[in-house]
Amino acid sequence: MGELHHECGVAAVFHAAGRGSSSLLPQLGQIDSAARLVPRMLLDMQNRGQLAAGMSSYRSDRNVIIRTHKEIGTVAEAFRLNHKSEFESIMGKLDGSIAIGHVRYATCGGNDRSDAQPFERDHPRKSKWFAFAFNGQLANYKALKQELMAKGDYHLKRDTDTEILMHALSYELQQEEDPSPDWVAIFGSLASKFDGAYNIVLVTARGELVIARDPLGIRPLCIAEHGPLLAAASESVPLANLGFKNIHSLEPGTLVVANARGVKVERFAPSPRQAHCFFEWIYFANVASTLDDRSVYLSRASLGQELARLEDVPRDDGDTIVVPVPDTAKAAADAMAFALQVPSVEGLMRNRYVGRTFIEGTADRAEKARLKYTPLREVLAGKRVLLVEDSIVRSTTMRALVREIRDRGGAREIHLRVACPPIIAPCYYGIDMSRRDELFAVPFIDGPGGAISPQAQAEMARQLGADSLRYLPVDAIARAVSLAPEQLCRACITGEYPTDVGQQLYQIENAGAAPAAAGRAYELVGSTPRIR
């Protein structure tokens, strides 16, 4: 779809000393080879960010106990995976028993190497020397920044919530006199200040790994153990591909601490409610992943079944076909076609070497869509096409696709079916959905709660160049994901946010109080109240 940008993915591994080897390690019996698993894990999460990649590792017998490597580009580019000697040179410096990794798309900050993660904070005391990687977004980071700067004698190199988080962690560690930090107290204190989504993997120069998930569980985080080996990742696929069997999601508001004394899972903050981002299931996550015990593939197939129940176009002439927009809409399209008893065919071929349109910048999305997809005239000519897409954000890509399918593909009719309700509000928790006034659906809202009538959808179809358009209703999402509505974050389709600052940001923007200059929505709000 190319108009919806994710934030990032995190990974972590820990191999306990003195507890033998794991068959999952690339070099049996070599405890310091655990770090070599990280680039492979990141490669399995490339879908979560292609702007930059990096890792930090711990090794006690190195002078540089924590060493960090990060570069702009894909995982293969950052770690030189296609150049064995260069990869070995990089990993020779990074081998260690503990490591964390990160793939990035920027929802906050710039696009140069210094903004890539992990971030490392040097300190002469080993308990205060750490590196960390972060998945999510702090909705109140502007207020946190103002509060930090008001203390005086602080300087920030970047305008990013990651640096704010680093300073917040540093401050909490400075309050700890014990060389063994109380991570429950530290993250409990942070939870009282932070508003938003934050999954954190952190390694210290004392040889500790900390893995934490925010109390709302907005972003997914999976963990697994195999003998002396502990690993974590933003999705289950990297863990499954390494051979882990008992993979499960870390509970919101809990953390894992792994060190020489063992592995402990502890609660650092209450989690009276959860707000899992539903977009993880319908678009972002690898289709083979399972997040919070819900299969991504089965959730997308359920969305297709929901679309089929609503379908009313003629299908008895043998000329109706279902065509998915590759690749994330395929499971929904196949399930829809099966329920309707019409063919699901690949009428659009994706050029996988072009790359995601959002990774390559925002200039001329329509041209990039034409480069990215090729319509097959042999499949489409003269057909009534049910074109299935996972979502529509700004509509630029979809307009180009509809035009290409009609002009180059020769389709007789194009009926656009969206396996998602209309996106009517920005995200402040780690997805770059841009400003509210850039969202395609917003001008067509004509009912309570952001509802869009069939008449308005007909006008939307006309503007897109399609013969008809249908979105899924909001209540279909919870059914497809098999979670109660109150366990999901559906702010982008309802305008109802799970945190106070998120709701305040939306009210400010909805009232037209944000500046008109281009930029991401939450960056346009200069100050937000502190959450206590």
> Residue ranges of the domains in the chain?
8-136+198-272, 295-490
Angle between helices 183-193 and 161-174 (to 10 degrees): 130
**Residue with more model confidence, 209 or 327:** 209
- Dump pLDDT digits (tens) for 155-167: 888 888 999 999 9
- Dump pLDDT digits (tens) for 242-261: 999 999 999 999 999 999 99
**How many residues are present in the chain?**
532
* Residue 26 confidence (pLDDT): 63
- Dump pLDDT digits (tens) for 51-91: 899 999 999 999 999 999 999 999 999 999 999 999 999 99
Q: What's the pLDDT band for 212 if we cut at 50, 70, 90?
A: very high
- Dump pLDDT digits (tens) for 8-63: 999 999 999 767 667 777 654 466 789 999 999 999 999 998 889 999 999 999 99
**Residue with more model confidence, 189 or 108:** 189
Task: Give me the mean pLDDT over the 448-471 stretch.
Answer: 95
Contact 172, 182 (CB under 8 A): no
Residue 232: helix, strand or coil by DSSP? strand
Write the DSSP symbol of residue 131.
E
* Helix (H), strand (E) at residue 255: strand 254-259
Identify the architecture of domain 8-136+198-272 in CATH.
Answer: 4-Layer Sandwich (3.60)
Residues 6 or more apart in contact with residue 527 via CB below 8 angstroms: 142, 143, 146
CA distances from 414 to 60, 402, 515 (A): 62, 7, 38
Task: Spell out a b/e string for 465-474, using b for 16 or more CB atoms within 10 Å of the CB, else e.
Answer: bbbbbbbbeb
Contact 195, 501 (CB under 8 A): yes
> In the predicted model, what is the mean pLDDT of the chain?
89
**pLDDT surpassing 70 at residue 355:** no
Catalytic residue among 8, 427, 489, 492: 8
Fold of the domain spanning 295-490: Rossmann fold (3.40.50)
**pLDDT surpassing 90 at residue 343:** yes
Task: Give me the mean pLDDT over the 352-356 stretch.
Answer: 61
* Residue 361 confidence (pLDDT): 46
> Partners of 224 in the beta sheet?
231
* Residue 530 confidence (pLDDT): 33
* Residue 105 confidence (pLDDT): 78
**8 in catalytic set:** yes
Rounded percentage of the chain residues whose pLDDT exceeds 90: 72
Task: Spell out a b/e string for 302-325, using b for 16 or more CB atoms within 10 Å of the CB, else e.
Answer: bbbbbbbeebebebeeeebbbbbb
Q: Using CA atoms, how far apart are residues 235 and 214, in angstroms rounded to an integer? A: 16
Burial of 224: CB neighbours in 10 Å, binned 0-12, 13-18, 19+? buried
Name the maximum alpha-carbon separation found in the chain: 77
* Residue 364 confidence (pLDDT): 61
Q: Record the pTM.
A: 0.91
Write the DSSP symbol of residue 17.
T
